[in-house]
Amino acid sequence: MDLTCLTAHKLLELLDNKEITVEEILDALFERIERLQPKLSAFASFDKKEAISRWQKNKERIKDKRLFGIPILIKDNICVKDELTTCASRILKDFKPPYNATVIDRLEASGAILLGKANMDEFAFGSSTESSAYYITRNPWDLDRVPGGSSGGSACAVASHQTILALGSDTGGSIRQPASFCGAVGLKPTYGRVSRYGLIAFASSLDQIGPITKDVEDAAILLSVISGYDPKDSTSAQIPVPDYRKIIKEPVKGMKIGIPKEYFQEGIDKEVELSIKEAINKFKDLGAICEEISLPHTEYAVSVYYLVATAEASSNLARYDGVQYGYRAPSPSAPQPPSPLLDMYKRTRAEGFGAEAKRRILLGTFALSSGYYDAYYLRALKVRTLIKQDFDEAFERFDCILTPTSPTAAFKIGEKIEDPLTMYLSDIFTISVNLAGIPGVSIPCGFTKEKLPIGLQILGKPFDEATILKAAYNFEQATEYHLRSPSL
Amino acid sequence: MTYETIIGLEVHVQLKTESKVYCGCSTNFGSPPNTQTCPVCLGFPGSLPVLNKKAFELACKVALALNCKISQQIRFDRKNYFYPDLPKNYQISQFAKPLGYDGLLDIFKDGTTKRIRIRRVHLEEDTGRLLHESLENFSLIDFNRSGIPLLEIVTEPDLDSPEEAVTYLASLKSILQYLEVSDCNMEEGSLRCDANISVRPQGQTELGTKTEIKNLNSFKNVKLALEFENKRQLNILKSGSRVIQETRLWNPEREITDSMRTKEEAHDYRYFPEPDLLPFDFEEANLEDIRKTIPELPDARRKRFIKEYGLSEYDAGVIIQEKTLADFFERCAALYERRKILANWLIVELLGILNQNNINIRELSLKESHLVDMLKMIDENIISGKIAKELLPEIIRTGRPPQELVSQRGLLQITDTEELERIIEQVISENPKAVEDFKKGKPRATMFLVGKVMEKTKGKANPKLVNEIIEKKLKEEI
């Protein structure tokens, strides 16, 4: 039995029945990681000995066994105490946080095993994992293609069975889009559902941590572990966490599903469109009621997003200045610059940040500058409210909304990296969700002729992850896409 | 042409909370560097701020005491600028909506009241402290201060002289101490002041070009810096030139201001709403709870002291300034009827001792009953006033009751007429010239002789009695 290709809920069952051991799972996984890392570059860092010793030390802290013995890969922008956490950036090279993110504490309290850190776009700036300061992660279905991004390492590792579970973070689609490109399940929870404490901020009002898994039930289990109020994060919500694993198994008969017409216009790949249409029919077969709806402000989402997200990012990334931690440019031998401090700032940031990070810092700084603030940032906030209202109105009549996750399947490495605007447009279907703060899940719903996965996105009401997971689970049980694996 | 001066002050005051404003670290002053820090106040990646409820309540208390309106929605903004003492390179502050606005503070000077408008009161975080002294080519940073709650209180440009600026500062400090929200220690930096000053020809309606002065770390420096800057600007205008809008730094050694940065070099702080702290609505009920914690404030207390204790405006004004002294006065006044005399002793003797040692009355171990007993001993002619002045520091030093000290040291006033007559006769015989003067009708001769008697008795003689006996004796001589 190849343990690497099993889901967490299956492994939990086998462990419970003492048919397998945790050591066997770890051995199988690390053997596969060592074989596939040179090929796929999904990991930013991993160390088998360290993973095992950390797991041994953690055993006393385990409070419940919801994830006992289940390995999980952590995106490299989530702080793990005393472990490299670099955001795939040169400026945080060698940075080891002195504390755990709240999600890490929760995972370890449930008995999960931290496998290592996942590669990503630098500071989560990107949709392809090409902007990592380490290396480009590859799509396990076609090594010439990107895995999506920014959580490309997490999605690739799940799809290529190098981990059982993974955590990603999603600011504009960074969990859902790579999940869709790699044929995995990716969930962005409602803003405030999962604590952001210890998630290295990109855009604080949009960021959420979420699961990337092999199937919907695993996503439900992982979400229930990491969710819930955290006094250390003022934006986390004091709303009870339901038993997702139980609710998802309820039928979808009578569920009202909206299909927004704005998501099926020019730019969408024909094969993608066809898959989504088939998925809609599948839901009808399952007894759901599907109707076309309108989200009229959809076309502004990308513009609004690239103002709000870059503005916040420019401020969040100001702390990387070489003073306390991370990379500091060496001081020039001679002559002494007129302002050594300014010189240190400039050279540290010039050498420490990659091109996309610099581009976003510049954009955000400009958008917040005196004289431009009202025209850009303030206006963007107003349109953000309109986008949110579109969803509020739709959810008065519908339980969830179906869309494609991305207009296309995975694109070729190098295809869009020189053209930021085209790259930004690949997030066109995922961005509104972050602006509105609502939850969204991407699940496999088909393959292109070139055998590339296609993702279906299901969106729900704030804090109603249960409904979208239920829809996703019912679809998954009625189809077989999630059972296919890339041959590697 | 005559000119008028216009001043506005920005005061930063550290709020006295147990923990910092956005994390749980201690705010204790004087701990070893960087021992009171955590990922939040060090601005580590991934850390998030959580508002300290106590700091927010103290801030509201001040805003209410300064008669401010309170913003219904409380929100925070980021102020972005690069400096090594600011670990996130942004400060979490309040920009668009300060928690308090449109307030008033009445200051009292030379018997008149002037109303100073308060533009805004807002909550923010303090920075770390840079240390440049110890190493060459290096600077060190102590982040213990980083994240200590700081309240910024900004006036409208309503102050018209350096003296008035200092009066305002003293009144504000007094209120803050009454509210028990801050230590208000300018040397330790728990109270800091920046000043905006401009001058304009009398009668002109628009304001002149202002300069902002920083590094004012005492009342004295506020006054000196504003006087210097006032003169500097006047000289510029009188010579026909124009004042440049800039930030200037007070140099207390040379007693001048130096240009720090001009308007062109000013920061663009790129304020925007702090996404890590969600805006929240402030409940009217909570506001009322905070309002209830505001004690009687200095102005009300001054008026009450005049009415209730019959003090002069001046005496009442001096005593209420320091809350601890006013409290002490009230506790003494409960034991002692002659309040004007009590006030006089507090202002002349006690304040002298306090100022000399730079402490407040609470730090001085003086029991109310000891002071009052001593005053009663003067009233009952047991000791002289002169002796009492010497006795007071002894009471403070030893903590012993005055009765005990007086009998131990033989300081009892000599009221025994026979003994006094004996001493006076001796003095008269030793000073024939004074007697001659008296005969010539010079009344000062009596005072001279009284002085001699006091000298001989080391101040223990009852001066009133001595005076009577001398006059009687001298008249006998004629």
* Strands, sheet with B211-216, edge to edge from the N-terminal-most edge strand: B69-70, B100-109, B112-125, B149-155, B3-14, B191-201, B211-216, B246-251, B256-262
Best residue of B270, B276, B277 to probe chain A, by most A CBs closer than 10 Å: B270
- Residue among A89, A127, A128, A174 flagged as catalytic: A174
Phi and psi at residue B281, to the nearest 5°: -85, 140
Q: Is the pLDDT of residue B360 over 90?
A: no
Q: Is the pLDDT of residue B409 over 80?
A: no
**Interacting residues of B281 by C-beta distance below 8 A, sequence separation 6+:** B72, B73, B74
Burial category of B200 from C-beta neighbours within 10 Å (exposed 0-12, middle 13-18, buried 19 and up): middle
Q: How far is A234 from chain B (nearest CA, A)?
A: 6
3-state secondary structure B162-209: HHHHHHHHHHHHHHHHHCCCCCCCCCCCCEEEEEEEEEEECCCCCCCC
pTM of the predicted protein model: 0.90
- Beta B112-125 vs B100-109: how paired, if at all? antiparallel
CA A273/CA A264 separation, integer angstroms:
7
Choice between B282 and A213, residue whose per-residue pLDDT is larger: A213
Chain A within 8 Å of B50 (Cβ-Cβ)? yes
Q: How far is B53 from chain A (nearest CA, A)?
A: 12
A151 is catalytic: no
The three-class DSSP label of residue A262 is helix
Q: How far is A232 from chain B (nearest CA, A)?
A: 6
**Interacting residues of B162 by C-beta distance below 8 A, sequence separation 6+:** B5, B7, B222, B223, B226, B227, B230
Question: Residue B390: what pLDDT?
Answer: 85
Helix axis angle, B162-178 to B53-65, nearest 10°: 130
Contacts of A345 in chain B (CB under 8 A): 82
Contact A259, A429 (CB under 8 A): no
Alpha helices in B310-416 (DSSP H): 313-321, 323-333, 339-344, 351-357, 368-379, 385-398, 402-408
Question: How many alpha carbons lie under 13 Å from residue B163 in its C-beta half-sphere?
Answer: 3
**pLDDT per residue as tens digits for the range A62-85:** 999 999 999 999 999 999 999 999
CA A476/CA A443 separation, integer angstroms:
8
CA A168/CA A150 separation, integer angstroms:
8
Phi and psi at residue A186, to the nearest 5°: -135, 125
Q: What is the mean pLDDT of residues A434-442?
A: 98
Question: Residue A22: what pLDDT?
Answer: 96
Using the beta-carbon criterion (under 8 Å), do A196 and B270 form an inter-chain contact? Answer: no
Contact A93, A45 (CB under 8 A): no
Strand ranges in A102-195 using DSSP code E only, listed in sequence order: 113-118, 165-170, 185-188
**pLDDT per residue as tens digits for the range B392-402:** 988 988 888 98
Q: What is the mean pLDDT of residues A379-387?
A: 97
> For residue B105, what are the β-bridge partners?
B116
Q: What percentage of chain A has pLDDT greater than the value 90?
A: 94
Using the beta-carbon criterion (under 8 Å), do B275 and A79 form an inter-chain contact? Answer: no
Choice between B3 and B382, residue whose per-residue pLDDT is larger: B3
- For B42, which residue in chain A has the nearest alpha carbon? A324
Contacts of B88 in chain A (CB under 8 A): 318-319
Using the beta-carbon criterion (under 8 Å), do B275 and A198 form an inter-chain contact? Answer: no
User: Which residues between 263 and 292 in chain B have a beta carbon less than 8 angstroms from any beta carbon of chain A?
Assistant: 268, 270-272, 275-278
Any idea of the CA torsion for B195, B148, A193, A108, to the nearest 10 degrees? Answer: 150
**Interacting residues of A141 by C-beta distance below 8 A, sequence separation 6+:** A159, A182, A183, A410, A451, A452, A453, A486
Question: Residue A68: what pLDDT?
Answer: 97
Q: Which of B45, B50, B141 sits opposite A92 (nearest CB)?
A: B45
Contacts of A199 in chain B (CB under 8 A): 46
- For A367, which residue in chain B has the nearest alpha carbon? B270
Q: Is the pLDDT of residue B478 over 70?
A: no
- For A101, which residue in chain B has the nearest alpha carbon? B46
**Distance of CA B414 to CAs A374, B173, B422, B459, B462, Å?**
84, 46, 12, 9, 6
C-alpha closest to that of A26 among A68, A65, A71: A71
Q: How far is A49 from chain B (nearest CA, A)?
A: 26
Side chain identity at residue A279, one-letter code: A
Q: What is the largest CA-CA distance in chain B?
A: 99
Q: What percentage of chain A has pLDDT greater than the value 70?
A: 100
Side chain identity at residue B216, one-letter code: L
- For A86, which residue in chain B has the nearest alpha carbon? B45
A234 is catalytic: no
- Beta B73-74 vs B280-281: how paired, if at all? antiparallel
Contacts of B80 in chain A (CB under 8 A): 314-315, 318, 368
State the sign of the Cα–Cα–Cα–Cα dihedral A470, A474, A475, A480: positive
List the single range of A14-18, B89-93, B351-355, B432-436 with lowest mean pLDDT.
Answer: B432-436
Q: Is the pLDDT of residue B364 over 70?
A: yes
Contacts of B272 in chain A (CB under 8 A): 311-312, 315, 368, 373, 377
Burial category of B413 from C-beta neighbours within 10 Å (exposed 0-12, middle 13-18, buried 19 and up): buried
List the single range of A118-122, A315-319, A336-340 with lowest mean pLDDT.
Answer: A336-340
Joined tokens for residue A199:
């998630």
The DSSP string of A335-356 is SPPS-HHHHHHHHHHHHHS-HH
**Interacting residues of A344 by C-beta distance below 8 A, sequence separation 6+:** A321, A322, A328, A329, A331
Alpha helices in B34-157 (DSSP H): 53-65
**Interacting residues of A487 by C-beta distance below 8 A, sequence separation 6+:** none
Q: How far is A426 from chain B (nearest CA, A)?
A: 26
Using the beta-carbon criterion (under 8 Å), do B84 and A205 form an inter-chain contact? Answer: no
**Distance of CA B266 to CAs A341, B9, B78, Å?**
18, 19, 17
A227 is catalytic: no
Contacts of B270 in chain A (CB under 8 A): 314-315, 365, 368-370, 373
Using the beta-carbon criterion (under 8 Å), do B49 and A98 form an inter-chain contact? Answer: no
Residue-averaged pLDDT of chain A: 96
- How many CB atoms neighbour CB A34 within 10 A? 12
Q: Is the pLDDT of residue B172 over 70?
A: yes
**Interacting residues of B275 by C-beta distance below 8 A, sequence separation 6+:** A203, A204, A205, A235, A312
Query: CB contacts < 8 Å between A and B, how many?
Result: 99
Alpha helices in B322-367 (DSSP H): 323-333, 339-344, 351-357
**Interacting residues of A281 by C-beta distance below 8 A, sequence separation 6+:** none
Question: Residue B110: what pLDDT?
Answer: 79
Omega into A335 within 30° of 0, i.e. cis? Answer: yes
Contact A124, A252 (CB under 8 A): no
**pLDDT per residue as tens digits for the range B222-238:** 999 999 999 999 999 99
Strand ranges in B53-185 using DSSP code E only, listed in sequence order: 69-70, 73-74, 77-80, 90-93, 100-109, 112-125, 129-131, 140-142, 149-155
- Beta A256-260 vs A400-404: how paired, if at all? parallel
Joined tokens for residue B238:
């009188």
Question: Residue B134: what pLDDT?
Answer: 67
Contact B34, B144 (CB under 8 A): yes
- How many CB atoms neighbour CB A281 within 10 A? 11
Q: What is the mean pLDDT of residues A258-266?
A: 91
Backbone dihedral region for residue B45 (phi beyond 0: left; psi -120 to 50: alpha; all else: beta): beta
Complex ipTM value:
0.96
Total residue length of chain A: 488
Side chain identity at residue A102, one-letter code: T
C-alpha closest to that of B73 among B251, B273, B279, B257: B279
Contact B420, B468 (CB under 8 A): no
Question: How many alpha carbons lie under 13 Å from residue A182 in its C-beta half-sphere?
Answer: 39
Q: Is the pLDDT of residue A220 over 90?
A: yes
pLDDT category at A331 given cuts 50, 70, 90 is confident
pLDDT category at B417 given cuts 50, 70, 90 is confident
Question: How many alpha carbons lie under 13 Å from residue B308 in its C-beta half-sphere?
Answer: 11
Chain A within 8 Å of B51 (Cβ-Cβ)? yes
Question: How many alpha carbons lie under 13 Å from residue A446 in its C-beta half-sphere?
Answer: 21
Q: What is the mean pLDDT of residues A305-324?
A: 97
